[in-house]
Structure formats: C-alpha cells, structure tokens
Copies of this chain bind each other. A is one copy, B any other.
Amino acid sequence: MVLRPLSFVRRALEAMARGPFMTAVAVGTLFVALFTTGLFAAVLGGAERLLAAWAGDVQISVYLRPDADLPAAARAAAQLAGGREVQAVPPAEALRRLRASLGPEAAVLDGVSADVLPASVEVRAPGISLAQARALAARLQAVPGAADVDFGNAWLERVEVLLRRLRWAGLALFGVLALATAVLVSNTLRLGVYARRDEIEIMKLVGATDAWVEAPFLVEGVLQGLLGGALAVAALLGLHALLAPRLAAAVGVAAPLARAEVVPPALVLALVGGGAALGLAASALAVGRFLRKP
C-alpha cells in the first residue's frame, strides 16, 4: 500500500468542504476561544505596561552636595538621561516646594533659611518602567557632586507590589482560561468526529488502516486550528487598530500601546501555533477514541 501524504491534505480539504456546517462550527469555536485567550493576554500585557508607564511618571531627584556646581550637574544629568526633561532646582525653589507639600504643618518652616536645603537636579521620565527608572537612577549617581538619588520610591514600591500581585492574579486567570479553551475546543472537535463515526467505521470495514482513516482528521484539525488562530490574530489586530488611538488619547501614553507591544510576534505565533497544536491534539484524541474501538 502506497501512502500519499498529499492525498491526506486533499481528503481533509474535501471533508471540510463536504461538511461546511461542522467546519464552520469548529473554526468558529477555535476562533472565539483563541481570540478570547489572545485578547486576555494582550490586555494583561498592555494593562501591565500601561500601569507601569502611568505609575512610572517618574521624577528622579539628584540631591547635590553643598559644594556642587548646579548648572554643571544639570548638564551632566541631561547627558546621562539621554534627552529627557531636566530641571535644576536651587535651594530656594526646594524650600518653596517643601512648604507647599507640608500643608497644615508648613508652619514649622517659618524663618528657616533656604540654605539648609541641598540643591538638586530633577529628571522627568514619563512613561518609563520601574526597571528603567531604577537603571536611570543608578546612572544618575554619576552626576558630579551627586549626594543622593531619589525616585518617588515609597509610591513606586507600593505600585510595584500591586503590579506583581495583579500579574499573578492575571496569570492564574489566564491559565484557567487557556485550559478552559483547550477543553472547549477539544470537546467541539470531538463532537465533529463523533458525527462522522459511521464514516470511520465504514472505511475501516472496506479495509482502511487506522492511519489512513486518522490522517485526514489530523490534517483537518491542524488546518482548522491555523484558520481559527489566523482569524483570532486578524481580529486582535483589527481591534487594536480601532481602539489603540482612542485609548492612547484617554491615557496619555502611546508607546506601550504600539501594535508590536500589544500584539507582539510571540503572541501571534502562540495563537496560530497554539491553534494548530490544539486542533491536532483534539482531533487525535477524538479519532483515537473511535478507532480504538473493536
């Protein structure tokens, strides 16, 4: 007996054309499941980056030693910070700000001379991640005359903990969703095979081997998975194109919403590849169930 791999693909395509209803249901199920999973992953990633960016509307203060040269330090900081907004804060300005921030307790500052406060250089870095903020702060240690580098740490640390917890909750939910997706899709493909169990039986009765019967089902599963995954990716990209501009406007940061960030190649690959793998595995399981019967 000659095995003709191409004939399996042909037979799979024929079977799909023969049962457009089943094919539509299978591809539709794969699409919905993969789209939901992909959307979840994209939103999860996007939200995390957005939160980080938004929380990381970071202001880094480089406090200088009393003997330091403020303008020189500001120039050095501008260079180290690579074009970010840099502001020199002389002691008088620092005192003004401190007074504003103390609110009802500002009275303690009455009669205090500005000279006791250190001059500082402030670097604004909107939309950078915590890790980037840390790295930048470390680099800014090299500013000549720098005594201490501070970046809104208390707040940032808290946000960092929050993000970590959110990420865990999100990942756990994502795991459940991915598992549910796999179960639901394999159930659907299984029903599809179930509806064709007579066909399987008849082909075996006229002398088909298990492999000959099984192969087109597997090819079909892979094709349906690829199709469902491709549709899911297309829908995600469409949704992104639709929503990203508005969202960026509403949130005020655009970079973390770029297409390559929200729907990265890894996600595209995961959806299409995952769809194909899911289709293959589900079909294999389902056909096996009916083949291995006496």
Contacts and interface: CB of A to CB of B under 8 A. Distances in A.
Interface of A: 21-22, 25, 28-29, 32-33, 35-36, 39-40, 43, 47, 51, 63, 94-95, 98, 102-105, 107-110, 112, 116-118, 147-148, 150, 155, 158, 162, 166, 169, 172-173, 176-177, 180, 183-184, 187-188, 190-192, 194-195
Total copies of this chain within the assembly = 2
A177 B108 contact: no
Contacts of A105: 94, 98, 117-118
A180 B108 contact: no
A68 to B, nearest CB: 14
B98 A108 contact: yes
Given A36-B176, A104-B118, 20 more contacts: A22-B194, A28-B183, A29-B184, A32-B183, A33-B184, A39-B176, A40-B173, A51-B162, A95-B108, A98-B105, A103-B150, A104-B147, A107-B117, A109-B112, A110-B116, A112-B112, A184-B184, A184-B188, A187-B188, A195-B195
User: Chain A: interface secondary structure?
Assistant: helix
Contacts of A25: 187, 190-191
Contacts of A150: 103-104
Contacts of A29: 183-184, 187-188
28 contacts: A22-B194, A25-B187, A29-B183, A29-B184, A32-B180, A32-B184, A33-B180, A35-B180, A36-B177, A36-B180, A47-B166, A63-B104, A94-B105, A95-B108, A98-B102, A98-B108, A103-B150, A104-B148, A107-B116, A108-B112, A108-B116, A112-B112, A155-B158, A166-B166, A184-B184, A188-B188, A191-B191, A191-B192
